[in-house]
Amino acid sequence: MTTPQPSHRTPPAHTDPTEVSLEAALLALSDPVRRTLVRELAGAGDWERACGSFDVPVTKATLSRHFTVLRESGLLEQRDAGAKRLNRLRRTEFDARFPGLLDLVLQGD
Amino acid sequence: MTTPQPSHRTPPAHTDPTEVSLEAALLALSDPVRRTLVRELAGAGDWERACGSFDVPVTKATLSRHFTVLRESGLLEQRDAGAKRLNRLRRTEFDARFPGLLDLVLQGD
């Protein structure tokens, strides 16, 4: 039996979608890499995708920054599981705050 | 009877909303001054508002740039009438291209 490794990282800080401004939401979604992350998350189950599993043409530091922007705009929930950081698109909550916006992104550019 | 002054300016170039990318639309609406312009236009009739009639805290050159971005993102139609440049929000066309997006902006921040 495997014992999960405890994570010693600081748990990620989240912003509730109800507290996100329209400007923050529009800016978060105006970046093509972030739209790719959002679309890939929409195509996966909750907590299925680890941060390292996304194939986007950016450095690790830039990718980390994109995840932060997505958390701060109420689009992303993250939790640590051992060495992995797992992701969930906050689709229902974000849809409730900004009806139709995520649908536009998921339809493609 | 007044004879309208002919305009010698180059007529403004427009982009049809059907040819606007989601990224261009999101970036256009992510600016607070442009959202103010869009909201004021939504509250006025077509061609009622001249460019000089908007009370926004930017220079004339910056305001002109904002109008260009709004034209290029399919949100704004402009035409010259003598010395005045008049404006129309392309609400129906933009709504058809990006359903729900303008509504989010018109609801406020």
In terms of Cβ atoms closer than 10 Å to its own Cβ (0-12, 13-18, 19+), residue B29 is buried
pLDDT digits (tens, 9 = 90+) for B58-98: 999 999 999 999 999 999 999 999 999 999 999 999 999 99
A-chain CB neighbours of B101 within 8 Å are 100-101, 104
Classify the C-alpha dihedral B3-B7-B11-B12 as positive or negative: negative
Ranges of each domain in chain B: 17-107
CATH class as words, domain B17-107 = mainly alpha
A-chain CB neighbours of B104 within 8 Å are 22, 98-101
Q: What gap in Å lies between CA B74 and CA B70, rounded to an integer?
A: 6
C-alpha count within 13 angstroms, C-beta hemisphere, residue A73? 26
Of A21, A100, A109, the CB nearest to B23: A109
Q: Secondary structure of chain B: what % helix, strand, coil (to 5)?
A: 45, 15, 40
Q: H-type helices in B30-98, by residue range? A: 32-42, 60-72, 91-97
Q: pTM score, two decimals?
A: 0.89
pLDDT digits (tens, 9 = 90+) for B25-65: 999 999 999 999 999 999 999 999 999 999 999 999 999 99
